[in-house]
Homo-oligomer: A and B are copies of this chain.
Amino acid sequence: MRVLGIDPGLTRCGWGVVDGRPGARPAAVGVGVVRSDHTLALELRLLELHTAVTALVREHRPDVVAIERVFQQNNKGTATGTAQAAGVAALAAAQASRPVHWHTPSEVKAAISGSGRADKEQVTLMVTRILGLDTPPRPADAADALALAVCHVWRGPTQDRLRVAALATGAGIAQGPLTTARRPPVRASRWQGIGSAS
């Protein structure tokens, strides 16, 4: 399964492409950041981001686009712009007939580090190890996007199975951390096939 992870933002939108499957070591295919000029009109910034995500989907042909679920109680000043960035990224996926899955920051942190409260440096460190990269992806938005893609590779099918089970039994969807068992052993290896930032 190939996943394009998107850490949405107007000023910096991180993206990362990962190949993998649950229980196996994932491989990084590409990573980067889409930037837009804060002096541009909002609609033009959204247009730049949409154009960039459309090009990424066309180039990498992901099976799924995983986007960070934005909560409006955080960073009130930028939450609207972040939500709009996430919206046009999801639109670009839908226009290319790619399904979109949403993961919260704490789901991503838990999947990657075993703790929903890991800080940005810990996430970057774990992503670097899990994907066997020589150097940590920078800026943190790029690392977060790779983390999101890895999270989806490991958690996505589990979530789907839980949803099916919940529908079958009429129970709610289990929400507990499902991370430790599905985290593969971390080994040092080469940073492979990482494309340039766009």
- Docked pose: A83 CA to B81 CA in angstroms: 8
Number of chain copies forming the complex: 2
Residues of B with C-beta under 8 A to A42:
90, 100, 102
Bound complex: CA A100 to CA B42 (Å) = 8
Interface check A145, CB cutoff 8 A = no
A123 contacts chain B at the CB level, 8 A cutoff: no
By a CB distance below 8 angstroms, the chain B residues around A44 are 94
Q: Which residues of B contact A91 (CB under 8 A)?
A: 43, 46-47, 50, 88, 91
Q: Does A84 contact B (CB under 8 A)?
A: yes
Q: A85: CB under 8 A from chain B? A: yes
Given known contacts A87-B87, A91-B47, A70 and B80 CB-to-CB distance under 8 angstroms: yes
CB-CB < 8 A to A111: which residues of B? Answer: none
**Which residues of A does B touch, CB under 8 Å?**
41-44, 46-47, 50, 70-73, 76, 79-80, 83-88, 90-91, 93-95, 99-100, 102
Closest 10 CB pairs of A and B: A84-B87, A83-B83, A72-B72, A43-B94, A43-B90, A47-B94, A87-B87, A43-B100, A80-B83, A72-B79
Q: Can you name 21 A-B residue pairings with CB atoms under 8 Å?
A: A41-B94, A42-B102, A43-B91, A43-B100, A44-B94, A46-B94, A72-B73, A72-B76, A72-B80, A79-B79, A79-B83, A80-B83, A83-B84, A83-B87, A84-B86, A84-B90, A85-B87, A87-B88, A88-B88, A88-B91, A91-B91
> If the complex has contacts A72-B76, A73-B76, are A41 and B87 also in contact, measured as CB distance less than 8 A?
no
CB distance from A93 to the nearest CB of B (A): 6
Q: How far is the CA of A172 from the CA of B73 in the complex (A)?
A: 29
A24 to B44, CA, bound (A): 31
Q: How far is the CA of A96 from the CA of B186 in the complex (A)?
A: 48
CB distance from A52 to the nearest CB of B (A): 13
Contact residues in B for A79 (Cβ distance below 8 Å): 72, 79-80, 83
